[in-house]
Chain A
Amino acid sequence: MTGEEPSVKIAVCVKQVPDTWAEKKLRAADSRLDREAADGVMNELDEYAVEEALQLIEAHGGEVVVVSMGPDRASETVRKALSMGADAGVHIVDDALGGSDAIATSAVIAAALAGRGFDLVIFGSESTDARMSVVPAMVAERLGWAQLTFAQKVEVSGSTVTIERVTESGFATVTAALPAVVSVVEKINEPRYPSFKGIMAAKKKPVETLSVSDLGLESAAVGAGAAWSAVNDFAARPPKAAGTVVTDEGDGGVKVADFLATQKFI
């Protein structure tokens, strides 16, 4: 007997971040991350989130909408998700959003997700710029949805989602009724590369742009001026004094042991 699995409507949240391989710096003028100094790329863990969403609709049917909050050039990241196979995009873009903290970001994203009939919203567990790992949990808090984060495996069955949540000693199995907020870790899958056909198709897929007021939010509640924390000052870490490097001539291990002894490690 075959049952028709209900299809799933999935939102994937993606962030454009500075290229992972580039050095990151804060701007002297306002202590904010200099996002212009490097190419923007899709946050690496978000690629895994997009892939997971695509695999889920391949199994169950449904739709993937990519959602991103970011300046104009974040549209490139939305397009990348579309070229991987997402069906449509939502790009929240507004000058007022510059310098938003995680609190405001989560409010904006929750407002963009609410009331659109999503069964699941999937995030990467962490972004390589701020590395806070709090936005998915904050969005779950705001929406009142189940939080299933740090997932190395995701399964949807009917109206239930089950994940394996990575823990220090292995994993915990966590289950909830939809709708739910999920975040994924690197171990979960292998993100596909966009095909040429996918890249061409992406150009025709719809992308809705939304401003802060479109979401029913006040400009005064977002952006650098509304942040609930502030950088007082920052400085480059003082450069480390050069160490000693020797070549192994049959005694390399002994020399390291001697060094460890002088440092009182052994």
Chain B
Amino acid sequence: MSEVLVLVDAVDGAVRKSTTELLTAARRLGEPAAVWVGPGISDAAIAALGEYGATKVYVADGADLAQHPVAPAAEVLAQLVQQVAPAAVLVPSTADGKEVAGRLAIKVDSGIITDAVDVAADGDRIVATQSVFGGSTIVHSTVTRGVPIITVRGNAVAPEAAPASPARQDVSVSLSDAARKATITGHSAATKGGRPELAEAQVVVSGGRGVGSPDGFAVIESLADSLGAAVGASRAATDAGWYPHQYQVGQTGKTVSPQLYIANGISGAIQHRAGMQTSKTIVVVNKDPEAPIFELADFGVVGDLFAVVPQLTEEINKRK
């Protein structure tokens, strides 16, 4: 059976949830072979990859691989594609991942499909499912040249454990001059709160124009914390400076598809809907009964979020 290369996304040496989702998807298409690029590999990480079915882990662990953005991972994958002739390459649909996939496509003369929410084998071809235009259209697509390179959206494929004992194979890569042209010289202090990352969270609690101020977001954060959720914000709220841009959900922000999305004080114009429309369950709190977002709601309350949200938070905490 052909290998399916899966680019590992790890932070501080720990494998991220998106990688477990990609390994699960890869099992449908061939033998999952995880690809670790950069320093920090450990037996624990290899075991974690094996938990979700990786039968092989390619490790390219030079420190210089983490010193330059995007290009090194594309070179490692290109080398493996030539060596291994995989059935497909799966990459997380993050900013980095999409750019790695794009550069890889050029290097190995192959087509690319981004932001797939599902992949399936259909005879001898691989069909990707994409949810486009804010979730209004479902597309089935296929790469028609070369090795299919597919980026997979987070939280779209449910991870399923399938324990295997992966064989480690070290890969030596000498980076081209082009790959080393841009150098990472520093990182901002990690503003790591206790909350999950937006892209990975099972529950997202968002605030919009109705929140009214930076202080107003405190009630949003309390609700999020009662549910172990990530916090999101509409563009109106981030443009007004009430919450940082990196939490913006929408057309020019992040696209999320959690199990539960609670939208507070958000009207639901296309700009925002495009970022959260495919959430499995949607709850809405808004003062305006005509707000378009109620069309998406599985459950909605017309009311003042500053009354409803604290009451909801209290109820959730009471019932724990």
Interchain CB contact under 8 A, A174 and B299: no
Does B1 interact with chain A (Cβ within 8 Å)? no
Query: What residue in chain B is nearest A161 (Cβ atoms)?
Result: B182
Interchain CB contact under 8 A, A245 and B302: yes
Query: What residue in chain A is nearest B239 (Cβ atoms)?
Result: A186
Name the interface residues of B130-182: CB closer than 8 Å to any CB of A: 131-146, 178, 181-182
Interchain CB contact under 8 A, B181 and A145: yes
Interchain CB contact under 8 A, B111 and A101: yes
Known: A236-B136, A253-B314, A265-B227. A147 touches B69 (CB 8 A): yes
B interface residues, tally (CB under 8 Å): 95
The distance from the CB of A44 to the nearest CB of chain B, in whole angstroms, is 6
Which residues of chain B have C-beta atoms less than 8 A from A75's C-beta?
A: none
State the CA gap A196–B135 with chains docked (Å).
Answer: 39
User: Which of B36-44, B47-55, B100-108 forms part of the interface with chain A?
Assistant: B100-108
Which residues of chain B have C-beta atoms less than 8 A from A229's C-beta?
A: 111-113, 141-144
Query: What residue in chain A is nearest B311 (Cβ atoms)?
Result: A253
Query: What residue in chain B is nearest A150 (Cβ atoms)?
Result: B95
Known: A227-B111, A256-B283. A25 touches B184 (CB 8 A): no
Interchain CB contact under 8 A, A135 and B102: yes
Interchain CB contact under 8 A, B311 and A147: no
State the CA gap A226–B70 with chains docked (Å).
Answer: 27
Query: What residue in chain A is nearest B310 (Cβ atoms)?
Result: A253
Q: Mark B71-104, 1 if CB is under 8 A from A, else 0.
A: 1001000000000000000000011001111110
Known: A133-B95, A175-B185, A243-B297. A260 touches B111 (CB 8 A): no
State the CA gap A256–B205 with chains docked (Å).
Answer: 13
Known: A229-B143, A253-B309, A257-B316. A138 touches B106 (CB 8 A): yes
Q: Say which residue of A21, A135, A180, A254 sits within 8 Å of B182 (CB atoms).
A: A180
Q: Say which residue of A170, A248, A250 sits within 8 Å of B189 (CB atoms).
A: A170
Name the interface residues of A76-120: CB closer than 8 Å to any CB of B: 101-103, 106
Known: A176-B183, A229-B112. A253 touches B139 (CB 8 A): no
Q: Say which residue of A166, A186, A237, A246 sits within 8 Å of B136 (CB atoms).
A: A237
Main secondary structure of the interface of B (DSSP, over half): mixed
Does B315 interact with chain A (Cβ within 8 Å)? yes
The distance from the CB of A32 to the nearest CB of chain B, in whole angstroms, is 12
Interchain CB contact under 8 A, B319 and A257: yes
User: Which of B19-27, B56-64, B210-218, B245-253 forms part of the interface with chain A?
Assistant: B245-253
The distance from the CB of A40 to the nearest CB of chain B, in whole angstroms, is 16
Which residues of chain A have C-beta atoms less than 8 A from B259's C-beta?
A: 265
Known: A186-B245, A229-B142, A230-B144. A260 touches B302 (CB 8 A): no
Which residues of chain B have C-beta atoms less than 8 A from A162's C-beta?
A: 185
Q: Say which residue of A168, A177, A232, A240 sits within 8 Å of B197 (CB atoms).
A: A168
Interchain CB contact under 8 A, A235 and B138: yes
Q: With a 10 A CB-CB cut-off, give which of A126, A147, A227, A261 has the most chain B CB atoms.
A: A147
Interchain CB contact under 8 A, A265 and B99: no
The distance from the CB of A31 to the nearest CB of chain B, in whole angstroms, is 8
Name the interface residues of B271-320: CB closer than 8 Å to any CB of A: 271, 281-285, 289, 294, 296-304, 307-316, 319-320
Q: Say which residue of A23, A164, A172, A256 sits within 8 Å of B312 (CB atoms).
A: A256
State the CA gap A149–B98 with chains docked (Å).
Answer: 12
Interchain CB contact under 8 A, A174 and B136: no
Interchain CB contact under 8 A, A233 and B260: no
Does A213 interact with chain B (Cβ within 8 Å)? no
Main secondary structure of the interface of A (DSSP, over half): mixed
Interchain CB contact under 8 A, A166 and B246: yes
Does B114 interact with chain A (Cβ within 8 Å)? yes
Q: Say which residue of A141, A164, A175, A235 sits within 8 Å of B137 (CB atoms).
A: A235
Interchain CB contact under 8 A, B300 and A186: no
The distance from the CB of A132 to the nearest CB of chain B, in whole angstroms, is 5
Known: A138-B106, A231-B140. A170 touches B190 (CB 8 A): yes
Which residues of chain A have C-beta atoms less than 8 A from B315's C-beta?
A: 253-254, 256-257
Q: Say which residue of B112, B269, B313 sits within 8 Å of A134 (CB atoms).
A: B112
State the CA gap A132–B149 with chains docked (Å).
Answer: 13
Q: Mark A121-155, 1 if CB is under 8 A from B, else 0.
A: 00001101001111111101110111111101000
**Chain B residues in contact with chain A, CB under 8 A?**
69-71, 74, 94-95, 98-103, 105-107, 110-115, 127, 131-146, 178, 181-192, 197, 199, 203, 227, 245-246, 248, 251-253, 255, 259-260, 269-271, 281-285, 289, 294, 296-304, 307-316, 319-320
13 contacts between A and B (CB under 8 A): A21-B271, A24-B132, A103-B106, A135-B102, A137-B99, A164-B188, A167-B188, A172-B187, A175-B182, A237-B137, A240-B296, A257-B312, A257-B319
Besides the known contacts A131-B114, A259-B298, 19 further A-B residue pairs in the complex with CB atoms under 8 A apart? A23-B133, A26-B137, A133-B102, A137-B70, A141-B107, A145-B178, A147-B99, A147-B181, A148-B69, A152-B245, A170-B187, A170-B188, A234-B138, A236-B136, A248-B308, A253-B301, A253-B311, A256-B308, A261-B319
**Chain A residues in contact with chain B, CB under 8 A?**
20-21, 23-26, 31, 44-45, 101-103, 106, 125-126, 128, 131-138, 140-142, 144-150, 152, 162, 164-177, 180, 185-187, 227-237, 240, 243-248, 250-257, 259-261, 263, 265-266
